[in-house]
Structure 1
Amino acid sequence: MTTMGAGMDGRRGRRRGALLAAGTLLAAVALAGCSAGDSGSDSAGTAAEAPQGAQGALDKGSDADAAGTAGAGAPDLRVDQRAIIYTGSMRVQVTDVDATAREVSAVVTRAGGFIGGDQRRSAEADAVAELQLRVPAAKFAQVVEEVAKLGRQQSREINTQDVTEETVDLEARIVTQRARVDSARRLLARANSIADLVSLENELGRREADLASLEAKKRRLADLTALSTITVSLAGPAAKTDEEKAETGFLVGLKGGWEAFVTSMTVLLTVLGALLPWLVAFGVPLTVLLLVLRRRRRRRTPAQVAQVSAPPQVPAARSAP
């Protein structure tokens, strides 16, 4: 009996262990299913909320992309790598303005540049030509010296502007703006409603416009740093400088007044010369006609006076028969 009771207790213990193991396994499977369901619902909710929080996602994605691209590498700011804009102006007095202008054009062409502007005032001795030269920055000093040797240099002014920091800042802003544009495009591709689509399209258009503006500024700076500008004034032997034109004083005023008087008299004589043929053609016959009329008037005047001054004649009275 004792042996049989012990066997029955062992069987019950094994059954309880099996049931406990089975319950534990079922609980683990249920827990795994719940976790998967929660993670799936979270991912679905995130996908549904992405277009609704488009602006926040745009900002976060843009900041992350910008941070990754901005730290790619530091710019090289050595002296030979700096962005410098060279500008210059000079005035050269020459004998033949047109011939010298052709020589200046040849100098610029040899240096790899071109003529950006050409204004001339043709005259014999006081001719003036103003040329705007665009030459590579590396040939700036060489072109200035060659142009100065074409005549007698009267003035020269050279200016430089270091735009390295502005260029580096502009490049960084362009990289950041490109990352923001790419982020907006990715979110636009995942938009699932008309409202989100319109909002993201407007935001993308604004960011693309800002990017185009930054790129245009970069091209402008690149053009100014790659090609320097030289304004050359070629003056004839009798051409006056700006200082001579700005002279003041009594003698200058007297000279100006005399020149104005001579000019006025010249204009007056010119007008009289133009009117003289008309005066001869119409003035002489008119003068003759006036003289004839005046003579006739003088002849009529004494006869009319005599008739007026003579007393009236009274008829004589007849005598009575």
Structure 2
Amino acid sequence: MKTVLLFLMFLLSSSSCKKAEAEDMSISAMKLPSKEKASANDNYAALDAPQKTEDKNIEQKIIKTGNLRFETNDLEATYSQIQSAVKSHNAIIQNDTEGKNYESVFKNITVRVPSKNFDLFLKDISKGVAYFDNKEISSQDVTEEYIDIDARLKAKKVLEVRYLELLKKANKVTEMLEIEKQLSAIREEIEAKEGQLRYMQSQISMSTITIEFYKTVANEGGATISYGSKIWNAIKSGFNGISSFFIGLLTIWPFLIILATGFYFIRKRFKKKTK
């Protein structure tokens, strides 16, 4: 009988020890992951994400841009043609400026057009253009960069969830403060990466085209008027120069009187010596 009682007491003591060890393990689980470990987990998650998407059909992320410059015989007609193309292809005019220099009058327009309509829009605004002074079309593949940022963003969000779970289990104020500090840094990184993705997606979905078209001044008035204007400007400049000369003389009239008086006396004395 004693042997049975001793055996039961041994079983109870061993079970209580195992329970205590389990509690210690649950408490130790509350320790925050080190920054190095969290950063490593973040990097591993970011590296694993692209590998998971290799088997899927990945949509390419292309940023298209265009830069055109050409001469036209009618600024308003060309401008109306561009406006019609903007409406037809659901584009928007982001910037519209005009100006005039010595040789020409010009318009400079920046258009955002849906990437799927990029080629058709270029075709419509190029109608009637004999040749382009400048035509630059570029396509930048940012698929890898986009996937990398997206993967890192997902890893940061997973890490945020882990810290939120730890915050619920934290009992000490110091632990809470440390977790809140880490959460604040993680949320800042999440917002930054989300901003990067939004900007990239905007550039991907809406292409940017800069269009500059101009008309030379000589076409409006002819070469004769241009040379006549130059001659008239030269005459006016000469007249202004003479006027400035006389005005300058008036400002130094006292010195001129002194010089004239001195010259008079010197000449008079010279005449006396010759007699």
Q: TM-score, normalised by structure 2?
A: 0.71
Measured in 2, the distance between the counterparts of 1:289 and 1:70 equals: 95
- Aligned positions of 1:97-108 closer than 5 A: 97-108=75-86
Residue 252 of structure 2 corresponds to residue 272 of structure 1: no
> CA separation of 1:299/1:53 partners in 2, compared to 1, >3 Å: closer, same or farther?
closer
Unmatched segments (≥5 aa) in structure 2: 219-230
Measured in 1, the distance between the counterparts of 2:86 and 2:217 equals: 26
Q: Specify the code of the residue in structure 2 equivalent to 1:269.
A: G
Three-state SS of the structure 2 residue aligned to 1:236 is: strand
- Aligned positions of 1:94-173 closer than 5 A: 94-122=72-100, 126-154=104-132, 155-173=134-152
Residue 160 of structure 2 corresponds to residue 191 of structure 1: no
Q: Specify the code of the residue in structure 1 equivalent to 2:247.
A: W
- Aligned positions of 1:274-289 closer than 5 A: 274-275=243-244, 278=247, 282=250
- Aligned positions of 1:225-240 closer than 5 A: 225-237=204-216
Structure ranking higher on relative contact order (CA contacts 8 Å, 6+ apart): 2
Structure 1 residue 39: Cα displacement: 3.3
Deviates most, 106-115 or 219-228: 106-115
Measured in 2, the distance between the counterparts of 1:295 and 1:53 equals: 103
Residue 80 of structure 2 corresponds to residue 82 of structure 1: no
Residue 49 of structure 2 corresponds to residue 48 of structure 1: no
Deviates most, 204-213 or 223-232: 204-213
User: CA offsets per residue over residues 92-127 of structure 1, 9 Å max, x none?
Assistant: 211233553354234223312212233432259611
Structure 1 residue 158: Cα displacement: 1.5
Structure 1 residue 73: Cα displacement: 6.0
Measured in 1, the distance between the counterparts of 2:267 and 2:148 equals: 106
Three-state SS of the structure 1 residue aligned to 2:29 is: helix
User: CA offsets per residue over residues 195-241 of structure 1, 9 Å max, x none?
Assistant: 333332222222222222222221122111101111211121359xx
> CA separation of 1:36/1:201 partners in 2, compared to 1, >3 Å: closer, same or farther?
same
User: CA offsets per residue over residues 234-262 of structure 1, 9 Å max, x none?
Assistant: 121359xxxxxxxxxxxxxxxxxxxxxx9
Greater radius of gyration (CA): 1
Structure 1 residue 86: Cα displacement: 1.1
> CA separation of 1:238/1:193 partners in 2, compared to 1, >3 Å: closer, same or farther?
same
Structure 1 residue 35: Cα displacement: 4.0
Measured in 2, the distance between the counterparts of 1:161 and 1:43 equals: 56
Aligned length: 257
Three-state SS of the structure 1 residue aligned to 2:135 is: strand
Q: Specify the code of the residue in structure 2 equivalent to 1:164.
A: T
Residue 221 of structure 2 corresponds to residue 221 of structure 1: no
Match of 1:255 in 2: none
Three-state SS of the structure 2 residue aligned to 1:217 is: helix
Match of 1:205 in 2: 184
Would the aligned equivalents of 1:137 and 1:225 in 2 still touch at CA under 8 Å?
Answer: yes
